[in-house]
Structure formats: C-alpha cells, structure tokens
Amino acid sequence: MTDLLRYQRAPLQARDPLWLRIGAAAPLRIGSVVPEVAHALALASFEAGWCIHAFSRPDATLATLAQTLRERGLLGAWRDELLPVHAESEGVQLGEPVGRIERAAVRALGIATRAVHLHGVSASLREDEPHRVWVQLRSLDKANDPGLWDTLMGGMVSAADTLEQALARETWEEAGLRLDALHDVAHAGVLEIRKPSDVASGVGYTVERIDWYRCTVPAGIEPINQDGEVERFELVSPDRVRADVAAGRYTLEAALILAPDLVQPAG
C-alpha cells in the first residue's frame, strides 16, 4: 500500500470556493479565492463563493483571467506553462481535466496541482556500508525556494503530461538521467500539501499532491542539470541531510519525503 502523508496549514486569510460553469452545465468547484482576487476578476457570486462563466472550451476564459491577475500584480513569475484544471469535491480531484491555465495563476486561484519527486540513493559497495542520498541545490534564481536543498528531482505535472511522462521528462531536464539507467525505480508514497503560498502576492494558497518515487543511482553515474534550474548536486550522508533539514536548508517537500532517511539508527 502506498504511504500517504498530509501536511496542512490554514490560509492566511479567509478563502471562498471558486466554481467554473461551462456553458449551461452545472458549476464545478475548481479552487478557492480571497475577495481581493474575486473582485479583481469581476467574478459572479455563487453559493457562498465565486463563479467563472465560460463557453464550451474554457481555456480562453482561464487565459484571460490569468492575464488580468498578471496585470494587477497578483501573480508570481509568469511561466508560459499550462497546468490542468480539475473539478474537485472535498479536495479530491475528479476525472479528466476541465480546462488548462497558466502555471503562475494556480496559487492565486487555489487550484490543485500535481507534482513528482525522485528520491535517489547511492548503490552501496559493501553490505555494511550505509547508502548516501543524492540531493540538489536549487538555483538562486528559481521562482520558488531559491537556494534551498531538494530531492534529486522535483517538478510539476503539466497539462501535456501523464504522471509517468512527467517523471521521465523532469528527471532528464533536472538531473540529466534516463529512468532506464537507474535501478529499482518505484512509486514510494504520496504527499498532500495545503499551505499559504509564498508567491501570488500573499493571496495564494498551495494545494498539491506529490507522487514521489525512489531509485538507486548506480555507481559511476552522476546527475548533470540540463535546464539551468539546479546549482549543483551532492551525494551526502543521512546525517548531513538530518543536520541541514534541522537548520532549515531544505524545502518543506524534500524534508517530508526524505524523512525516512532521517530516523536515527537504533542503539
């Protein structure tokens, strides 16, 4: 059974449900907004929340809303990357995407996103030798968590990706590694995060499901960044990871994913 870990912090300010009505169909809940965002977008009130009205293909409407938020200074860095928008019930995403929206807008609209992480360990040369952990130092100009340590790979699942495609693409772009060159690649757990967003000018909220995988990086293979978003990689001991997590040098997501390797040895 896949391990499930949840991390939740309340929003910094009250948020109302955000709905999407496509044509004459019943509205679908897709996220949440603060009143400032709802008024900036001139949204219609609906069931103690706010509603976006779109035609049969809502992507154009969602793109216009994202651009409006950008012009009002209510977004983080514009990414030119589309993420899927799902209907949800009690925080659970339902079925196929109902639309796509610019990545920079998802936090301001409280739209749930998906991500993948890869936790890479070294191949031990001796049975009595503990494994070490491959970690990356995020680039100093990253939009989120610049200069913090992270797992071997972490990235978003875009509107064009399946989960498996995102895993393969991000592993190559961030670490220059092909999955078939790694050993024992396996789905290891799910991390669900709800917390105030550090971007989106204080009006954002992060709702994210992270599927994380574990692998062994064979001896003689080293990660090499391909997209300029990683300062460097290091192969470190669990003790080093433990100390750096305690000092606040890791992203929240990485600290939670690496937690099993931070357990003090018995005795």
Per domain, the residue ranges of the chain are 13-109, 114-260
Topology annotation, domain 13-109: Transcription Regulator spoIIAA (3.30.750)
Task: Name which CATH class applies to 114-260.
Answer: alpha beta
Site of tokens 């008024």: 39
Helical segments of 29-112, H only: 35-40, 59-71
pLDDT values of the chain reduced to their tens digit, one per residue, 267 residues: 457 889 999 999 999 999 999 999 999 999 999 999 999 999 999 988 999 999 888 999 999 999 999 999 999 889 999 999 999 866 566 678 999 999 999 999 999 999 999 999 998 655 666 789 999 999 999 888 999 999 999 999 999 999 999 999 999 999 999 999 999 999 999 999 999 997 767 899 999 999 999 999 999 999 999 999 999 999 999 999 999 999 999 999 999 999 876 655 433
CA 173, CA 168: separation in Å to the nearest integer? 9
Fold: same for 13-109 and 114-260: no
| CA neighbours closer than 13 Å in the CB half-sphere of residue 30 | 29
